[in-house]
Structure 1
């Protein structure tokens, strides 16, 4: 066979396909912009096309002649190609990720009689005869791997890919869904290959996909309206159906809708055959739309897992955790425009792409073409035909202008965002801005419930500054991640505390922001700077969030340079629906006027309207009577704000009628038949000092019982209130005997002061932030101390970590903030032993909060040292005092000696704990000093051979040994 000279081809020319062009010899070259190297990192698992076990050299099929001619690999004419990336695979032998070369503009027709010049993106390698690409497709038989020089080991690697996921279309939601399916299967231990082969720009890419298709165990074809007008999708459906391993998945369509599309195209024989093949797959055929993406992905993973004999390794890690913190608000009203705006921002208008693309052009245009992204993405046809290179000259610009003009006319108006940007390019972060009580959390919660099926999981994070970092790390429990600190190491490099904390944070961040779609909601973000270390919010939210969407609710004017969605108060009709309460009672015109007065006085605050509506529903009182009762609340009852920060004091002054309404609710809780049983009122007082997180009713009740029973603080206007409510006393909530703790907590929920929280075990509630601001105004110190005692009794470092931290802030202050509560020495010993010490150990070991835990232990040590100094001062005063004074203090002195001993021994425990933790971070010198001090204390207090003394000596020996190895 004579060699054929390959002419030089201009790489700047466009590649043109002449359909049905006979036997003309043509040449082609691939543009540099189609090179996979532009999107593939150099660390690809495939070093080169010819070295890869997935790729065999191109071969020429020579017709039979008088003499048998073997198949000769034309390696001398294959153009070198950059490596293909499969980053993210389970190993170098398993191509588990998609490879989609960058698309180009195209215009082609599947009609073989169409002889127009069409731009395509699939460019074959120039060869002597420019033979068609060898494919697994039925018209062109595929060369068996046995005929090539592929080793058995290479074949084993090739067969290690379990599932091929094929799709076609330009809807970004389709791509998002397919990536989600691939990620879910990989979590189940199933190696996947995902591809839209119509976008491949060179033969090497097609050959990789072909060989994977022939080797996989199952083929999942995601079927859309575009699929049946695409040559590659039809190939895949027919091939997998013949192998009896096809799993079709209808995406936002069904068989009837697809059949109706065939009427727009003359040549539908192959399409109908493919549809018939799919309809025969009754056992495994799946259908999905926007309402069941998650269920469909889960079902597909279950089918493949069962067929491949794989066991689930994911559900076990996440069971027992509720996604959303609160039940759905059945009384949610309005905000439809805002919800649509958020949906458009996050998901774009991808559905309209499919609706436009599935309608074939009447003049031989592009079936399957997306009008919305015609200048960005495309598909390629590698069907029958030869290839030539031509320069279009001026016609190129003319066609481009006509193309853009045609596309721009078909774009719907609602694709424009608030900033005027085209919403085809969807964003991944939405920032909802608004005043306190306007309804930001309710809006985010409603969106999460409506669109939860579009996400693998909804992750809800409280954005309060002090607790934000811990809340992010708490997500590791939902995601099934291990973010614990490094154990003690005798060998190997010991990482610093900063490295361990950074790695734990990055581990959660990597899991959240990848192809797996999560919805991350950061509720009530107080500041962009992290409170503990001052890190910026950009450290959490990357530029590329992968498949994850982020919704931020905040009172800040701007967050991370995102254009905020300014949430305005409810419209008057929606406000009237909300204020009528759960019963939606109709009132006469005169009473409706009082509803409007409430709306005006409350400044259309959604929270205030909901509280008034709850009172109207639960008390069965007329709006006029309720308005008069609330108006009678004395102004001085709303003026005290001594325990509040400056912004919170200003909020109370700006909303006097809202404060009066909340005072009325408090008085209502205290009007039970027996005020000593008014647990709900005391729950409200103590709840102000808990962290802004769900609280167990048992914990809340334990704290509430520590508050002494107060007499009625509202005597000045109680009689007036009773007169106003006398006609409704029979139906008043406060006349009921609220015996159980759970009923008392649910009373707060019914009055709109708190929300019921979703937890698997027990009853949990969370107070509204405005409720907590209000409850701190009076009797703050008594309630705060009761909070500390309740948490010390029942607090759990894992489930109640936020509340334990809240108590630590009250007792120790931290940073520049002074302590709120002053504890006696023995109470301090109990608090540190039962609350602070377990909290620090849990934060360090479970969540890698090394520096925060060590800082807490250091503060505890300093407090105990101050207590020791006070004891020494008392002893000195007692020794130098008069004999009479000695006799009076003698009994108390014995108690002080016992407390002193407990303080000193607890200090030794803190020193030993700090030394053990410092050992894990390589701080051997500091740990050794602390451990020696601990040993000295225990030797004096307990003796040299005491078990605790010997344990401290072992810790010291380990520190010395580790330091000597440096």
Structure 2
């Protein structure tokens, strides 16, 4: 008999018997009470408790704990089920967690696994207390007496919501089940009430009642509509419970997902990669859901290696279940505020021998590796679209090392994580948290959202390094724990990453490559097919190069022979490549000639758009911004280009554009999309350029294209729309780390860029995304850049004041620029003061505040010079107002922290600032 122990805060269901090694007897999945405070010894903080029918959950010593309503007698939804298949367990866990996330209390139970009368009594008590009863109906439910009883009970109360899992409501007819009609009941049908000694009348009454349930209350789930099914269930249950806020939240979430989930539309011309998709499914789920693509599975059976892998994964599931508990003990996580690491043996290192190929199946993480241009992004995008219904949300993250942390923190809005209400004081030490502590807390909150029983799919595309570029964090610190409901897919060019086995992406087969290269052309002669095969070998079988060939043949309507002759006649540019750059461009001259040929065919505006894109961030680009940057680049009028263009005009059988025709940005972007140099994004008016094309454009465009990009961002950039590209412009302007500054702007342009973009970007970075180190570095480099520009102006200004006419327009312009620069410098210092005060670095904040006040005092003294009023700093109304706002912020921060040391340090500074404010006001009055 199980012992029931009840406390004021929580209720546990505990069994004294030791768990069986074969997993045949599992703790009864009866959901009890939600504790107001979790016991530290039994309940892990990082994950929600869940129903785990496959292994009995993560409970120890026979204790089974699940989150549930505050009182069992005030339950909103009762969910009954039968079976412990991984798919059913995953679906029920998701539904329960989704309901609890929306504030709906629910209880999940499989009464067939209750071990004693007390557990059965508690389950029946929950049934009677529930406002709505939902039963997950599978084929096994019709031979389960408890499922039949639950259906009859809730049908009688008229609060029944059936959830058909793997079945259609039209298949659940009494006559079809008894007479074994249809493919479904041919093996599992018959007089099922006999199997458990039930009454025929009661069984028929329950099954026949399913057909009388209103169609609006029926929910039918299959492997390809889980998300829609659970969303519909939550919406329906919230509506029946009268919870309007639940329905509104579900409606807003659906609207947001439709807009912001995946970055690109689905590739309707996706070719091949069936085996790789099947491998990814096994790595993440560990099993293949029923109702999938049967043709795909049949084709994979022809491979002996695939048969062996499937036998290891499915034919030996019992062995895997026995090993699962031991593996989970070996993979112990150690988590602290400073580091997150995985312990046990060699961490994630794989065993040797044949076990290595199947050791990562079902772990929830997969890594796809391969050279550039093989189609890693296309494979991940196809998998995300194909299996998106099995996840609440697909979180797509660009893995470029400079933008990884920012892309990760962009998930805050998608996950509805609100960090603005976090207390900045550390309760243990009674002082502000440090920058590292606040950044760690933000990462922990995001990871915690992804470690619920709600499944997410995290896709990290093109991961360049295991460590973050900014502070050296390991990418493991961004990821949730392996083995949970959230799955992770990573694509990288590195041979090995995170010490896990990679799925190495191979080349397309000859038939698939030929289909990709032919494009829309059909019935090619044998000689032309041989030419395509030769081009395939010269391109190194790169999927991107094959797709380019197919697009050119389709768009220009030329034969493969003429295309090959044109590519061979294209001169190879003398470009120097370093050893760290992409080997596809370094070792494949024929591919470079193909790119040059495409540039010769492009409209001049389209060519310059590609050249400018090389210096943008690796994210979607606003077409108008890219066009503006392209207009800053001079058109290439070299003799070789003209000669090649004239030669191509004679080769093309259909000249559908004129060489000197000026085209609009829509036509130029459309040309890039047709030739696969750019791809359409999910957001209208934006395009994305492939990384290989961007790297080639950086080499070919040079510094001129970089300057054009920075000027375009400075003039038309918007932080909500182009924040990543503003960061890219900052990387070109300022000296981050050991990287040199590539672009140098005029002083007026630099002041405008920092004032309009860099400063607001830094403020947004630490206020909205809690990236304090990045914001601090950006503010520091902006200050250094202004100081360097200030020295240049001071040199010329001193000559003008000593030897020139003070009323000369040039002298007045230089003085005005100097005053604007100094004011901006003071504003930057004041922003850094606020940032340092927020992180508790009061000594640095005091020093910066003194410097800012000194700068403003110098400006007040400079305003006394006999210069016309429009150029006086005292005539600028913002001078005193800016200083007053800084003083107000400093006083508020001082009152907030109320620390004696900070108050003493800042008191003299504040007094001096107040005196300067009075002087500034007097100067304005005298003017």
Query: What is the TM-score with the length of structure 1 in the denominator?
Result: 0.74
Per the alignment, residue 952 of structure 1 pairs with: 886
The Cα shift of 1:684 comes to 0.8
Give 1:837's match in structure 2, choosing from 759, 762, 768. Answer: 759
State whether residues 170 and 377 of structure 1, in contact with CA within 8 Å, keep that contact through their aligned partners in structure 2.
Answer: no
For residue 710 of structure 1, give the secondary structure of its aligned residue in structure 2.
coil
Residues 444 and 521 in structure 1, CA contact (< 8 A), matched pair in contact too: yes
CA RMSD of aligned residues (A): 3.7
Matching residue of 2:595: 662
Label 1:608 to 1:418 Cα distance change in 2 as closer, same or farther (>3 A).
farther
* Offset of residue 825 of structure 1: 2.0
Matched, 1:421 2:343: no
Question: What is the aligned partner in structure 1 of residue 646 from structure 2?
Answer: 722
Assess, with a 3 A threshold, how the Cα gap between structure 1 residues 247 and 866 changes in structure 2: closer, same or farther. same
Superposed displacement of residue 958, structure 1: 3.5
Are 1:436 and 2:372 matched, yes or no? yes
Structure 1 position 478 matched with structure 2 position 392: no
Cα deviation for residue 529 of structure 1 reads: 0.7
- Give 1:293 deviation, angstroms: 1.2
Q: Distance in 2 between matches of 1:202 and 1:847?
A: 51
- In structure 1, the residue matched to 2:41 is none
**What SS does structure 1 have at the residue aligned with 2:189?**
helix
Q: Gapped runs of 5+ residues in structure 1?
A: 1-28, 51-80, 106-122, 124-153, 355-369, 379-415, 671-677
Please, which of 729, 740, 761 is the counterpart of residue 818 of structure 1? 740
What's 2:212 paired with? 280
| 1:99-119: CA deviation from partner (whole Å, max 9, x where unpaired) | 5689689xxxxxxxxxxxxxx
1:442 Cα deviation (Å)?
0.5
Confirm whether residue 745 of structure 1 aligns to residue 679 of structure 2: no
CA deviation map 1:519-559 (0-9, x unaligned): 11110010111111111122122333521111111111112
Q: Once structures 1 and 2 are overlaid, which stretch shifts more, 322-331 or 205-214? A: 205-214
How far the C-alpha of 1:210 sits from its partner, in A, is 2.6
Offset from partner CA, 1:180-218 (integer Å, 9 cap, x none): 111222233211112223334454444433322221111
User: In the aligned structure 2, how far is the partner of 1:693 from the partner of 1:878?
Assistant: 47
The residue that corresponds to 1:210 in the other structure is 124
Where relative contact order (Cα < 8 A, 6+ residues apart) is larger, the structure is 1
Residues 279-318 of structure 1: CA deviation (Å, up to 9, x unaligned): 2223322211112111111111121111011123254357
> Could you tell me how far apart the structure 1 residues matched to 2:388 and 2:764 are?
32
* 1:798 partner SS: helix
Structure-1 separation of matches of 2:425 and 2:786: 31
Q: Which residue of 1 aligns with 2:570?
A: 633
- Does structure 2 conserve the Cα–Cα contact (< 8 Å) formed by 1:924 and 1:963? no
Residue 647 of structure 1 and its aligned partner are, at CA, apart by 2.1
Alignment deviations for residues 338-367 of structure 1 (CA, whole Å, 9 cap, x no partner): 11111122222264699xxxxxxxxxxxxx
1:800 maps onto 2:722 in alignment? yes
| Structure 2 counterparts to residues 553-568 of structure 1, below 5 A | 553-568=491-506
* Compared CA separation, residues 825 and 717, structure 1 to 2 (3 A): closer
Deviation sequence 1:16-38 (CA, Å, 0-9, x none): xxxxxxxxxxxxx56xxxx999x
- Tell me the distance in 1 between the aligned counterparts of 2:730 and 2:693: 22
**CA apart distance, 1:87:** 8.2
Do residues 685 (structure 1) and 611 (structure 2) align? yes
2:542 alignment partner, one of 605, 608, 621: 605
Aligned runs of 1:3-22 on 2, under 5 Å? none
> Which residue among 223, 243, 251 is the counterpart of 1:310?
243
Equivalent residue for 2:89? 175
**How far apart are 1:175 and its partner, in Å?**
0.8
Contact 2:78–2:132, Cα closer than 8 Å, also in 1: yes
Judge conservation of contact 1:935–1:953 (CA < 8 Å) in 2: no
**1: CA distance, partners of 2:839 / 2:263:** 35
Q: How many angstroms does 1:812 deviate by?
A: 0.8
2:32–2:72: 8 Å Cα contact kept in structure 1?
A: no
Change (3 A) 1:318 1:647: farther
Tell me the CA shift for residue 920 of structure 1. Answer: 2.3
Contact 2:82 2:147 in 1 (8 A): yes
| Structure 1 residue 437: Cα displacement | 0.4
How many residues are treated as equivalent by the alignment?
779
Distance 1:43 1:527, change over 3 A: farther
Question: Which has the larger displacement, 938-947 or 194-203?
Answer: 938-947
Give the direction of change, closer, same or farther, for the CA distance of 1:757–1:104 in structure 2 (3 Å limit): closer
Task: State the secondary structure of the residue aligned to 1:818.
Answer: coil
1:731 aligns with one of 655, 664, 671: 655
Q: Which 10-residue stretch deviates more, 817-826 or 938-947?
A: 938-947
Q: Within the alignment, does 1:765 sit opposite 2:683 as a pair?
A: no
1:710 aligns with 2:710: no
SS at match of 2:78: strand
Match of 1:869 among 791, 799, 803: 791
Confirm or deny: 8 A CA contact 2:53 2:86 kept in the other structure.
Answer: no
1:761-807 per-position Cα deviation (integer Å, ceiling 9, x unaligned): x3110000000011111232111111111111222223322111111
Superposed, 1:235-384 pairs within 5 Å as 235-254=149-168, 255=172, 259-260=185-186, 261-263=188-190, 267=194, 269=200, 271-283=203-215, 284-311=217-244, 312=246, 313-316=249-252, 319-320=255-256, 321-349=259-287, 351=289
Equivalences for residues 218-229 of structure 1 within 5 A: 218-229=132-143
2:45 matched residue in structure 1 = none
Q: Indicate how the Cα distance of structure 1 residues 918 and 650 shifts in structure 2: closer, same or farther if over 3 A, else same.
A: same
- Greater shift, 851-860 or 235-244, is seen at 235-244
Partner deviation per Cα, 1:716-741 (whole Å, 9 max, x = no partner) = 26434533441526434565956432
Shift of 1:964: 4.7
Unaligned runs of 5+ in 2: 15-26, 39-47, 63-67, 177-182, 293-313, 323-352, 860-872, 901-927
1:140 equivalent in structure 2: none
* Equivalent residue number for residue 195 of structure 1: 109
Residue 488 of structure 2 aligns to a residue in which SS? strand
- Distance of 2:53 and 2:672 partners within structure 1: 58
Alpha-carbon distance between aligned partners in 1 of 2:315 and 2:643, rounded to the nearest angstrom: 72
Query: Contact 2:69–2:75 at 8 Å: present in 1 too?
Result: no
Sort the Cα spacing of 1:657 and 1:950 in 2 relative to 1 into closer, same or farther, 3 A.
same
Q: Tell me the CA shift for residue 245 of structure 1.
A: 1.6
**1:929 and 2:854 correspond:** no
User: Per the alignment, in what secondary structure is the counterpart of residue 460 of structure 2?
Assistant: strand
Q: Is the aligned partner of 1:791 residue 2:705?
A: no
Shift of 1:750: 0.8
1:46 corresponding residue in structure 2: 10
Measured at CA, do residues 183 and 497 of structure 1 come closer, stay the same or move farther in structure 2, by a change above 3 Å? same
**Residues 780 and 371 (structure 1 numbering): CA distance in 2 closer, same or farther, change over 3 Å?**
closer
Say whether residues 1:590 and 2:527 are aligned partners: yes
Return the TM-score normalized by structure 2.
0.77
The structure having more radius of gyration, on CA atoms, is 1
Q: Is the 8 A contact 2:450 2:480 kept in 1?
A: no
Shift of 1:90: 8.5
- When you count helix as a share of all residues, which structure comes out higher? 2
Choose from 570, 574, 595 the match for 2:508: 570
CA displacement at 1:834 relative to structure 2: 1.8
Quick check: 1:167–1:196 contact (8 Å CA) kept in 2?
A: yes
Following TM superposition, by how much is the alpha carbon of 1:963 offset from its aligned partner in structure 2, in angstroms? Answer: 6.0
Asked if the contact 1:577–1:584 (Cα under 8 Å) also holds between the matched residues in 2, the reply is no
Q: Separation in 2 of the partners of 1:894 and 1:173?
A: 75
Query: Greater CA deviation, 471-480 or 561-570?
Result: 471-480
Structure 1 pair 854–249 and aligned structure 2 pair: CA distance change class (3 A): same
CA 1:202/1:801 → structure 2, altered by over 3 Å: closer, same or farther?
farther
Partner of 1:232: 146
Quick one: structure 1 residues 259 and 176, their matched pair in 2 at CA, closer, same or farther if it must change by over 3 Å?
same
Match of 1:74 in 2: none
**Residue 689 of structure 1 aligns to a residue in which SS?**
coil
Structure 1 residues 141-166: Cα deviation after superposition (integer angstroms, max 9, x where no partner): xxxxxxxxxxxxx9993333211112
Structure 1's 790 and 276: CA in aligned 2 closer, same or farther, altered over 3 A? same
On the 8 A contact 1:618/1:733 being kept in 2, the answer is: no
